[in-house]
Amino acid sequence: MRLDKYITTCLDVSRKEIKRQIKDGRVTVNGEICTDSGANVAETDAVTLDGERLLYNKYIYLMLNKPAGYVSAVRDRNYPPVTDLVPPEYAHYGVYPAGRLDRMTEGLLLLTNDGDFAHRLTSPNKNVYKRYFARLDAPMEESDIDAFAAGMELKDFTAKPARLEITDDPTEVYIEIAEGKFHQVRRMCARLGKNVLYLKRVKIGALTLDPSLELGHVKMLTEQDIKKAFSN
């Protein structure tokens, strides 16, 4: 690919600006100054700008700790989209949510510009469990664990077997589901006569929401994190 294209993939700068910087001799390719914006470079070439090595990432993967009030979309007529929370340094990647959380649900949401990743993550036959913490308006009982495990019949589909864990306070529970149908956790709880007052996703597969990640903040995923999202 062209050198200027390589650099604009790494940095939030215009092609015009980067062309000027290349011309000014501020860019090296494999240790040699290169003043030709159209020079052919490969993803594996070492490119520096002002002595700083650039990391060529075509795709990025972000973990967001989603606050309530944001919709899992890139635009919306009525509410702010989660992409409003993406810091400017990642803006040029054009990320979007891989999967969705309801507007009032908090917690772990992944954002990416890798369509294949997003598709694989949300595919219902992947059987990747998603773990939620829920606060309810009434206590869960031991018998409710069986109701979740049996695969619950809802109005428009039968949910796959799900896991319910009741904490010391039986109005606070963890629920793991394998699909992600519209309002699924809320509807499963409602089926058992409990309303969800607060809902937060804490895990996708083996990937846990970073407890140090503040609400509304994002962090880059490592390759290891990405693999974890696909393994239970």
Nearest partner of 134 among 104, 179, 96, 98, judged by Cα: 104
Choose, from 12, 24, 50, 102, the residue flagged as catalytic. 102
Q: Which is nearer to ligand URA, 27 or 194 (CB)?
A: 194
Alpha-helix runs per DSSP H in 89-192: 115-122, 142-149, 184-191
In the complex, least distance from residue 27 CB atom to ligand URA, rounded to whole angstroms: 45
In the complex, least distance from residue 61 CB atom to ligand URA, rounded to whole angstroms: 20
Q: Which is nearer to ligand URA, 7 or 111 (CB)?
A: 111
Q: Which is nearer to ligand URA, 7 or 152 (CB)?
A: 152
For residue 92, the 8-state DSSP code is: G
Contact footprint for ligand URA (CB under 6 A): 101-102, 105, 180, 183-186, 199
In the complex, least distance from residue 182 CB atom to ligand URA, rounded to whole angstroms: 8
- Give buried/exposed letters for 66-94 (b at 16+ CB in 10 A, else e): bbeebbbeeeeeeeebbbebbeeebeebe
| Enclosing H/E stretch for 18 | helix 15-23
Phi/psi for 120 (5° steps) reads -65, -40
Query: How many angstroms separate the CA atoms of 231 and 57, rounded?
Result: 24
102 is catalytic: yes
Q: What angle do CA 210, 130, 100 make, to 5 degrees?
A: 85
Q: Which is nearer to ligand URA, 102 or 141 (CB)?
A: 102
In the complex, least distance from residue 87 CB atom to ligand URA, rounded to whole angstroms: 23
The residues that are catalytic are 102
